[in-house]
Amino acid sequence: MAEFKHLVVAKFKDGAVVDDILKGMEKLASEIDTVKSFEWGQDVESMDMLRQGFTHAFLMTFSSKEDFTAFMSHPDHLQFSATFSGAIEKVVLLDFPAVLAKSR
């Protein structure tokens, strides 16, 4: 069974306390057992015209789509989503079964 990925690419509103959001996401991922891994990063290389204002990417990995579904309906995720949504100006979400093309 393929892992399931949850990718979020975000641009935060001016004045958003991004460090607090990042800490909250790390806490959420560490406390909900269905999250297999959590990675995030801030863009430092892309040209502004290619970035389209997006600055941060977040990737969660789940063992299955069912684990992802359980995460999405978890009360802690629902509560944090309201905080996250209030801090972002625009967002792209992609949820997909992973296709591993290369691994070392």
CATH of the domain at 86: 3.30.70.100
pLDDT at 58 (0 to 100): 98
Query: Is residue 38 pLDDT above 90, yes or no?
Result: yes
Predicted confidence at residue 104, as pLDDT, reads 87
Cα first-last separation, the chain:
20
Position 104 in a domain: no
Ramachandran angles phi, psi of 49, nearest 5°: -70, -25
pTM comes to 0.91
DSSP annotation of 80 reads H
- Residue 99 inside a domain? The answer is no
Tokens of 30: 């560490």
Strands (E), the chain: 4-12, 37-42, 56-62, 88-97
Q: Residue 46's domain spans which residues?
A: 4-94
Residue 51 binned pLDDT confidence (cut-offs 50, 70, 90): confident
pLDDT band, residue 2 (cuts 50/70/90): confident
Whether the pLDDT of residue 1 is over 70: the answer is: no
- Closest Cα partner for 8 from 92, 80, 96? 92
Number of structural domains, the chain?
1
- Phi, psi at 55, each rounded to 5°: -125, -25
Collapsed DSSP state (helix, strand, coil) of residue 8: strand
Residue 49 pLDDT greater than 90, yes or no: no
